[in-house]
Amino acid sequence: GAVVSQHPSWVICKSGTSVKIECRSLDFQATTMFWYRQFPKQSLMLMATSNEGSKATYEQGVEKDKFLINHASLTLSTLTVTSAHPEDSSFYICSARLGQGVEEQFFGPGTRLTVL
Amino acid sequence: GQNIDQPTEMTATEGAIVQINCTYQTSGFNGLFWYQQHAGEAPTFLSYNVLDGLEEKGRFSSFLSRSKGYSYLLLKELQMKDSASYLCAVMDSNYQLIWGAGTKLIIKP
């Protein structure tokens, strides 16, 4: 099956700093990548959808200036949490899809962010 | 609006059978997915249904009724490792996944 990696697996940072999370599709080219956030005991919340070479589409309520997404190639998307605050502490998960239609999303292992 | 409903938590006994239900109301339908998520890990794909009926895959089966907006995931011969959250997700007319809140399944010896 298709493999998606994320780096780092976990990160602890001070309030006010920025954190970059990478999502890579290792053995396929991902036309579309998704970024999710998951708080404890809650379901996945889609933050944004990014297509290679174009601007990300953010879900309502997600600040695009705070959560910067770059999808520069078919195998790499990055999420940068700028000026992180304790309330941004969460489990961030990316997923990748081959095409635009009905296809399974392959999930990365997730990144646990803790902001002190 | 779009809505996915599934029970918050279920408990079952090792070796038994459990059925996790999911009802949905979405703008369009391009299939229903079931994912398994262990605590602290990312979801893993279990099944995909787009036509009515039952899809069987080993100990896991998934059923869909599009007219009723209803699906269930059936787990047989439960094992302790099946303790996890099970997420129901529907792909809408824009090929976006709409996620349920997940059902936490607790398996007891």
Cα(B44)–Cα(B36) distance, rounded to whole angstroms?
5
* pLDDT for B33 beyond 90: yes
Instruction: Give B33's contacts in chain A (Cβ within 8 Å).
Output: 104
Question: A45 to chain B: which residues are within 8 Å by CB?
Answer: 99
**Is the CB of residue A67 less than 8 Å from the CB of residue A58?**
yes
Give the separation between CA B104 and CA B4, rounded to whole angstroms. Answer: 15
Average pLDDT along chain B: 94
Residue B95: per-residue pLDDT: 79
Q: Is the CB of A108 less than 8 angstroms away from the CB of B96?
A: no
Residue B65 and residue B49: Cα distance in Å, rounded? 9
Q: What is the pLDDT of residues A85-104, one digit of tens each?
A: 999 999 999 999 876 666 77
B4, B90 in Cβ contact below 8 A? Answer: yes
A-chain residue closest to B5, CA distance: A43
For range B49-57, the mean pLDDT: 94
Q: B81 CA to chain A: closest CA distance, Å?
A: 18
- Residues 6 or more apart whose Cβ sits within 8 Å of residue B61: B54, B55, B73, B74, B76
Kindly indicate the confidence band of residue A71, based on its pLDDT and cuts at 50, 70 and 90: confident
My answer on whether omega of the bond before B43 falls inside 30° of 0, hence cis, is no
> What is the reported pLDDT for A43?
81
Is there a contact between A110 and B41 if contact means CB atoms under 8 Å apart? Answer: yes
Size of interface A-B (CB pairs under 8 A): 43
Are B107 and B83 in contact, with CB atoms under 8 Å apart? yes
Contacts of A10 (CB under 8 A, 6+ apart): A111, A112, A113, A114
